[in-house]
Amino acid sequence: MATSDLRFRIAVFVLLFAAIAPMSLAATPDYSGTYASVLTKKSKDSAPISLRVVQNEKWIEIIRTAGNKVTTGHCRFDGAPGPYTNAAGNQGTCTAELKRGVLIVVSIALEETNLYSPITIRMRRRQEWKLAADGKSLTINFVEDSPDAKQTPFTPGLDSASAPSRTTDPMGAPVFWTSGTSWKEKYQRTD
């Protein structure tokens, strides 16, 4: 009985290994190429966006152009920060990693939060890139927040109890909300 139990366990192990091994050997998606934004009803008023991406086993370089604004990142896969420049021209850092076929890019750079009463804080942008199986379409989910700001409205001169009900500061300038902003962009491969 012990021999048949051992054979059964070995057979189960072999079957599980045979099922799991192809998943671990799956090719890493290559995002290299050029892409153009897919305009939706919501984005018809915005400028078209283009992406140029170069990827190898150590890093991914992303150049994003929206109108006359250019964002660049040379993001490393080893966790070390690479150079990043946001659309405002501010220098920062970025990293990249691949998790189960999804590219995750995290960048941090200084940004002014409000045109009427500028406050410069670090903004973190997390991107999840998903390439379609045919490699022709790309979806990027964005989440942007600030690692420096509290997750409540920033309102100078007001206590925290009254801040959430206000949309302007005491001088009448709009308040910048730091709880995080998220959006999605879709692209078609053009090369």
Task: Name all domains of the chain by residue range, CATH numbers in brackets.
Answer: 29-189 (2.40.128.20)
Q: What pLDDT is stored for residue 20 in this prediction? A: 52
At residue 33 the predicted structure's pLDDT band, cuts being 50, 70 and 90, is very high
Residues in the chain: 191
> Which DSSP letter does residue 46 get?
S
Q: HSE of 170 in the Cβ direction (CA atoms, 13 Å)?
A: 5
Find residue 99's DSSP bridge partners: 102
At 150, is the secondary structure helix, strand, or coil?
coil
Beta strands in the chain (DSSP E): 33-37, 49-55, 59-66, 69-76, 82-85, 91-99, 102-112, 120-131, 137-145, 181-189
Rounded mean pLDDT of the chain?
Answer: 78
Is residue 41 predicted with pLDDT exceeding 80?
Answer: no
At 63, is the secondary structure helix, strand, or coil?
strand
pLDDT tens figures, 87-146: 989 999 999 999 999 999 999 998 876 666 667 788 899 999 999 999 999 999 999 888
Q: What pLDDT is stored for residue 121 in this prediction? A: 81
Which two tokens mark 165? 């009900």
pLDDT tens figures, 137-191: 999 999 988 877 654 444 444 433 433 434 444 445 444 444 578 899 999 999 9
Mean pLDDT of 74-97: 95
